[in-house]
Structure 1
Amino acid sequence: MATNPKNATVTLDDFIAAAEASEQRLEFVDGQIVAMSGASILHGRIAQRITSSLDRQLENSGCEILRDTLVAAGVADNKFVPDVIVFCGEPEYERLRGIEMMLNPVVLIEVLSPTTANYDHVTKWENYRRIPSLREYLLVSQDRPRVEQYTRQDSRFWRFSETEGRDSEIRIESLNATLSLARIYAGLRLGAAEQEEAPAE
């Protein structure tokens, strides 16, 4: 993950031009263009399993899943590319030249990487929680079978919960759906954190 050189402030138009020309995922945060480094295979497998699991459950629900799509956050002109986006009903989006930005996500999911964990926990959360349509935000670990979940209670308050263990399930209330950690992490070799906690044989 890298920002534009010398922290030079750029405009939203500059960002759109860069996004149109780049094959790399770019985000726009407080006047900075943030280039997202390529995700690991493990990161991609976890995100794909989440997508597949939700896709089956959301059939005929009126909700759909998007990947690799910009989301217009609730602060200034900030734009992000979550790992998984779920919207319900008709999609609302802002279009600037050839770039479309989702306005009404209901659930956003990020798979945590070593280089982006703090960014996902702090910067993205500070922006995502101000999106009026958002109901839940999930942060999924790739070091151990763990999911952190923020669920909106009202216009100001969110409930935080943490679920850990391969036998656990996450309830996504706004979608009437569940995520099985056993399914998400099946057969995956995770990071040192989980291995350190494994019982000795």
Structure 2
Amino acid sequence: MASQPKPQFTPQEYLAWERQQATRHEFFNGEIFAMTGASRAHTLIRGNACATLHAQLRGKPCELYNNDMRVKVSETGMYTYPDIVAACADPQFEDTEVDTLINPKSTSACC
């Protein structure tokens, strides 16, 4: 029995659809993936890491975002919601919706 092919979406179709959803979804290679909730331990670790990074970034030209900021990984075309992401100097976004960061920095590059 042949399996049904999975529907393939363009990044533009994903973004238009995702912006209307009540929950978050990631996108990779034409597929959309629902995100699950985090455990208590995961939430505590993320909060502690965010507080530490916030203190390290004080006085630097960086903005720190939590897991509600979508990031486009230009090298792969993936759209994802990292637990924590920093944008340093001039944050850039995919379009005028200002909800998809395209120039995140690793912590070693900005801290």
- TM category (shorter chain) comes to 0.7 to 0.9
Residues in 2 aligned to 1:86 and 1:34: alpha-carbon distance in whole angstroms: 23
Q: Which runs of 5+ in 2 are unaligned?
A: none
Residues 48-197 of structure 1 aligned to structure 2 (within 5 Å)? 48-67=47-66, 68-75=68-75, 77-95=77-95, 98=97, 100-107=99-106, 173-176=108-111
Structure whose residues are more often strand by fraction: 1
Larger Rg: 1
**What SS class does the counterpart of residue 42 from structure 2 fall into?**
helix
Over 3 Å off, 4+ runs: none
1:174 is displaced (CA, Å) by 2.6
Preserved contact between residue 26 and residue 36 of structure 1 (Cα < 8 Å): yes
Preserved contact between residue 72 and residue 102 of structure 1 (Cα < 8 Å): yes
Q: Aligned pair in 2 of structure 1 residues 24, 6: CA closer, same or farther (>3 Å)?
A: farther
Q: Aligned pair in 2 of structure 1 residues 6, 41: CA closer, same or farther (>3 Å)?
A: farther
CA-atom RMSD, angstroms?
Answer: 2.1
**What SS class does the counterpart of residue 95 from structure 1 fall into?**
coil
1:6 is displaced (CA, Å) by 5.3
Q: Which residue of the partner structure matches residue 183 of structure 1? A: none
Structure number with greater CO (CA < 8 Å, separation at least 6) is 2
The number of residue pairs the alignment matches comes to 107
Preserved contact between residue 14 and residue 32 of structure 2 (Cα < 8 Å): yes
1:69-90 per-position Cα deviation (integer Å, ceiling 9, x unaligned): 1111123532111111012111
Preserved contact between residue 74 and residue 102 of structure 2 (Cα < 8 Å): no
Give percent identity, aligned residues only. Answer: 26
**What SS class does the counterpart of residue 55 from structure 1 fall into?**
helix
The normalised TM-score by structure 2 is 0.82
The one-letter code of the counterpart of 1:45 is: L
Residues in 1 aligned to 2:33 and 2:98: alpha-carbon distance in whole angstroms: 16
Preserved contact between residue 9 and residue 32 of structure 1 (Cα < 8 Å): yes
Q: Aligned pair in 2 of structure 1 residues 20, 54: CA closer, same or farther (>3 Å)?
A: same
Q: Aligned pair in 2 of structure 1 residues 50, 95: CA closer, same or farther (>3 Å)?
A: same
Residues 26-41 of structure 1 aligned to structure 2 (within 5 Å)? 26-41=25-40
Residues in 1 aligned to 2:86 and 2:73: alpha-carbon distance in whole angstroms: 15
**What SS class does the counterpart of residue 72 from structure 1 fall into?**
strand
1:48 is displaced (CA, Å) by 0.9
